[in-house]
A and B are shown apart, each in its own frame.
Chain A
Amino acid sequence: MGSRASTLLRDEEIEEIKKETGFSHSQITRLYSRFTSLDKGENGTLSREDFQRIPELAINPLGDRIINAFFPEGEDQVNFRGFMRTLAHFRPIEDNEKSKDQNGPEPLNSRSNKLHFAFRLYDLDKDDKISRDELLQVLRMMVGVNISDEQLGSIADRTIQEADQDGDSAISFAEFVKQVLEKVDVEQKMSIRFLH
Chain B
Amino acid sequence: MKALRFSRKPGRYVAAGVAGRLAAGKGASVGPLKLVDVDDLKLPADDWVRLRPRLAGICGSDLATIDGHSSRYFEPIVSFPFTPGHEVVGDLEDGSRAVLIPILSCVTRGIDPMCGACSAGRTNRCGRIAFGHLEPGLQTGFCADTGGGWSGELVAHPSQLLPVPEDLSDEAAVMVEPLACAVHAARKVAASGPHQRIAVIGSGTLGLLTIAALRSEDPFGTIIATGKYPHQQGLAKALGADQVVSPRTLPRVVRSLTGAFVLDGGQLTDGVEVVVDCVGSEASLTQALQVVAPGGQIVVVGMPGHTALDLTSLWHRESTISGCYAYTRSDFERALELAQEHDLGRLVSATYPLSRSTEAIEHAANAGARGAVKIAFDLRKPAKAKR
A and B co-occur in one complex: no
Residues of A within 8 A of B (CB): none
